[in-house]
Amino acid sequence: MPPPPPRASHARAASNRERGRAVERMAHEYLQAHGLRPVAANAGYRFGELDLVMREADGSLVFVEVRYRRSAAFGGGAASVHAGKRARLLRAAQAFLAAHPRWAQAPCRFDVVEAEGEPPRLRWIRDAFRADD
């Protein structure tokens, strides 16, 4: 007997994950085209994940959160990076720096790449928030 078909919620979750990966790839390519160089992607820690870690030409380390919204009707992607999410990103960035001491003294910043619509349009928000926000 064949397995039952996936429930709609499972198919939707898989589709959302695929969309998220595709948008992260787009953001990665976009940032590289604008001079950033990749350091890491999807660096996961028990309290959060860093979508992209990039390096500026001046040596700054850039932690990039990629957010996709089909529509900005309920706020854009940057608006969804609330205080709790920022705290998790900060802790993940601290863990990344602890695990990679060669970057520990580099200036750091947090950027957001919003993707909205279909096909997604990207908007890069440099220095979207700070550790002391």
Which amino acid appears at position 51 of this protein?
D
- Residue of 44, 59, 133 whose CA lies nearest to 92: 44
Write out the H or E segment, with its range, that includes residue 115: strand 108-116
* CATH number for the domain that contains residue 123: 3.40.1350.10
CA angle (41, 47, 52) in 5-degree steps = 15
> Would you call 38 helix, strand, or coil by DSSP?
strand
Q: Which pLDDT score, from 0 to 100, does residue 6 have? A: 58
Q: How far apart are CA 13 and CA 62, in angstroms?
A: 29
Pairing of strands 61-69, 48-55: antiparallel
Q: Note down the domain range covering 67.
A: 22-71+80-129
The whole model's pTM is what? 0.84
pLDDT in tens, 108-124: 999 999 998 888 899 99
Tell whether 28 is covered by a domain: yes
pLDDT in tens, 78-106: 677 888 999 999 999 999 999 999 999 99
The total number of structural domains that make up the chain: 1
